[in-house]
Structure 1
Amino acid sequence: MSPQSSLSDDLTAAQRCLDELTRTVDRLERQVGTGLEIRRVRSDADHLRESLALLRAASPATGSASTVRPEMVTIPDKPYDHGLWSDVDDEGVGAKDRHAP
C-alpha cells in the first residue's frame, strides 16, 4: 500500500469517526438538552469537522491545489526608476530638506 493511499484511507476513517461523533452528540443532546456543556461539545465537534476538511484539502492524496506550484515571477536586476520614489520620504530618515528635532 502506498503512503498516499494510506493517507487517504486514514482521512476517510477519521471522517467516519467524526460522523459517528456527530450522531452521538445528537443523541446526547436529545437526552440532556441544549445546555452549555452540550453546546461546547457540539462546537468542538464542528471545529474538528472544519479542521479535517482543511487537512483533506491540503493533503496531496486528494489532489489538492496545494501540490501545484505558484507561478514564478522574474525580478529584473536593473535598478528601479528613481522617478517612482520622488514623492516619498526616506523611511526612518525624513525628507532631504528637513532634519529631526
Structure 2
Amino acid sequence: MSTSEMLELNRTIDRLRRCVGSLRSMYGDAAPVRRLDNDLERLEIDARELDSSPPRTSRPSEERIKVSDTPYDASMWRGVDDEGLGGLHYGRE
C-alpha cells in the first residue's frame, strides 16, 4: 500500500479503537465488545503485515486458450434450430 493509504488505515484503526473503548465503558466486558476488540487486534496485525511486505506490481499471467479461425464442419449443425433467429427450421447443407 502507498504511504497515504497506510496512514489512513492506521488512523481508521485508531478511531475504531477509541470507539470500542467508549462502547466498553457503556457495556462493560460484554462478549460483543470483546469480539470487536479481537477484530481490531486482527486488523492491526494485518495492517502491519501489509506495511512490511511490498505490494504486487504486476498482474499474474492468465492462461490463454487458443480458438481456431478455421470454419466448423457444417454437418455439426445439421438438424439444429437457429434459436437466435426465432427458431427457424430449414435444411442446412
**Structures share fold, TM-score greater than 0.5:** yes
Larger Rg: 2
- Say how many residue pairs are matched: 55
TM-score normalised by the chain length of structure 2: 0.56
Is 1:32 aligned to 2:27, yes or no?
yes
What is the root-mean-square deviation in Å for CA atoms of aligned residues? 1.4
Give the corresponding residue for 1:14.
9
2-structure distance, mates of 1:59, 1:36: 36
Amino acid at match of 1:18: I
TM-score normalised by the chain length of structure 1: 0.51
In the alignment, structure 2 segments of 5+ residues that lack a partner are 56-93
Identity of aligned residues (%): 24
2-structure distance, mates of 1:32, 1:59: 40
SS in 1 for 2:29: coil
The equivalent position to 2:37 in structure 1, one of 33, 36, 42, is: 42
Listed one character per residue, the Cα deviations across residues 74-97 of structure 1 (whole Å, up to 9, x for unaligned) are xxxxxxxxxxxxxxxxxxxxxxxx
TM superposition outliers: structure 1 runs of 4+ over 3 Å: none
* Structure with a larger share of its residues in helix: 1
In the alignment, structure 1 segments of 5+ residues that lack a partner are 61-101
